[in-house]
Amino acid sequence: MTDAYQALTASLASADPEIERMIEAEGRRESEKIRLIASENYVSEAVMQATGSILTNKYSEGYARKRYYEGQQVIDEVEETAIARAKELFGVEHANVQPYSGSPANLAVYLAFLKPGDTVMGMELPMGGHLTHGSKVSATGKWFNPVHYGVRRDTGRIDLDEVAEIARKERPKLIICGGTAIPRTVDFEGFAKIAAEVDALLMADIAHIAGLVAGGAHPSPVGHAPVITTTTHKTLRGPRGAMIMTDADHAKAIDKAVFPGLQGGPHNHTTAAIAVALREAAHESFKTYAQQIVKNSQALAAALADRGYDLVSGGSDNHLNLVDLTPKDIGGKPAAKALDKAGIELNFNTVPFDTRKPFDPSGLRIGTAAVTTRGMTEGDMELIAGWMDRAISAAKADKESEYEVIAGEIREFCKSYPIPGWHA
């Protein structure tokens, strides 16, 4: 194990050996499995250390230089550093680094610019959107009037003509672009033109692709969307947190919505870890990393297609692939469960126009950010596709003994790709 891991857990082992055992087990699990969940990654040791730092002791309600508690000299510097790095990395005029996660960040946008009952337009959840884009089970769908766009049945891609038609009819006050299961490039400029035509505010949710944007592997929404939300993990490879970035005109309303509108004191240890991740993302090596994520995603898509798997939209432009298992005559949930037993971790997912229920859908969602962090490249994606196909075939044939065979091969394979902050 690394010195960093031992330092983080030395006191824990004596204070609470039960929890320490669980952390040890999770580290081994993350190390020995191929993790393809699109919303996950591995943070660096530096990010991990900041997250577990003494900054967790301090409560800091308010904003830098305008706090409601004393003793903020260092915390103000930490938050201002994170803000400055976000502004420089993404080229924005304002950044709020206090949101606890992506959902509260999105809710802050609603609070800042809408009133209950206002019309909001986002991508429909089964088509690739997010719960906070107006889903009926979310507060955003209960408190506001949601209207949705989707993708074309024949291409699996967003049709901006359809988006424009819906927008002209419904006249939303807010249009959201981006989502949680979109394997293709988001046309921020096209959305901006539609928003301008109907006098709507455009919000870009780049939670999944923020690292790709930062690394130049995906077009940026800056200059097109006045309001941008993102989580700080996923492709950005930071801690579990969020940011809202805006132009100067929308900054004040966002800050008021986050605090005091939705939150109390920010999580200062997370803010520090965000700052560290942003510094890492500004390095030239991160651009190479972002480009490799896309190369791996496209290589994995090609390898799966060669094995007869149906990829929604035909492939990927980013870190994410969405696989429709209908032609394979197996549901996404049993396939995901089988893959997990075989050492490959991903999630079952609804696909566009899915005829199955959301908790037992037809698809799998696959992401390549975490395996790229470990150093895997295109040739490894061919191996991964082969293991996936074997596990899914075993599930269909009810040959559970094959899972452990595959898992053993994967454990051996993963020894060549240690994870940051922990390894045996």
DSSP string, 34-94: EE--TT-----HHHHHHHTSGGGG----EETTEESSS--HHHHHHHHHHHHHHHHHHT-SE
The residue annotated as part of the active site, out of 40, 45, 61, 187, is 61
Spatial distance between the Cα atoms of 408 and 412, rounded to a whole number of angstroms: 6
Q: Is 212 marked as binding a ligand?
A: no
The residue annotated as part of the active site, out of 20, 45, 59, 382, is 59
Closest by CA to 23, choosing from 6, 43, 45, 40, is 6
Catalytic: 246?
no
If one counts every other C-beta atom within 10 angstroms of the C-beta of residue 390, the result is 19
How many Cα atoms within 13 Å fall on the side-chain side of residue 27? 21
> Residue 101 corresponds to which tokens in the numbers above?
């996660």
Closest by CA to 88, choosing from 238, 289, 282, is 282
Looking at residue 422, the DSSP 8-state letter turns out to be B
DSSP string, 319-357: SEEEEE-GGGT--HHHHHHHHHHTTEE-EEE--TT--S-
Spatial distance between the Cα atoms of 34 and 31, rounded to a whole number of angstroms: 8
What does R_g of the chain's alpha carbons equal in angstroms? 22
The residue annotated as part of the active site, out of 28, 240, 256, 337, is 240
Catalytic: 234?
yes
Closest by CA to 160, choosing from 187, 137, 181, 138, is 187
> Could you tell me if residue 216 is left (phi over 0), alpha (psi between -120 and 50 degrees) or otherwise beta?
left
Matching residue, tokens 């082992």: 13
Helix (H, G, I), strand (E, B) or coil at 315: coil
The H-assigned helical ranges of 257-283 are 268-281
Q: Is 174 marked as binding a ligand?
A: no
Catalytic: 61?
yes
The residue annotated as part of the active site, out of 30, 79, 124, 205, is 205
Q: Is 131 marked as binding a ligand?
A: yes
The residue annotated as part of the active site, out of 85, 184, 234, 333, is 234
If one counts every other C-beta atom within 10 angstroms of the C-beta of residue 71, the result is 10
> Residue 356 corresponds to which tokens in the numbers above?
């199955």
Q: Is 130 marked as binding a ligand?
A: yes
Are 375 and 65 in contact by the 8 Å Cβ rule? The answer is no
Helix (H, G, I), strand (E, B) or coil at 233: coil
What is the signed CA dihedral for 223, 225, 227, 228, rounded to 10 degrees? Answer: -90
Spatial distance between the Cα atoms of 213 and 186, rounded to a whole number of angstroms: 11
Identity at 232, one-letter amino acid code = T
Catalytic: 231?
yes
Binding-site residue ranges for (6S)-5,6,7,8-tetrahydrofolate: 125, 129-131
Q: Write out the catalytic residue numbers.
A: 59, 61, 205, 231, 234, 240
Binding residues: 125, 129-131
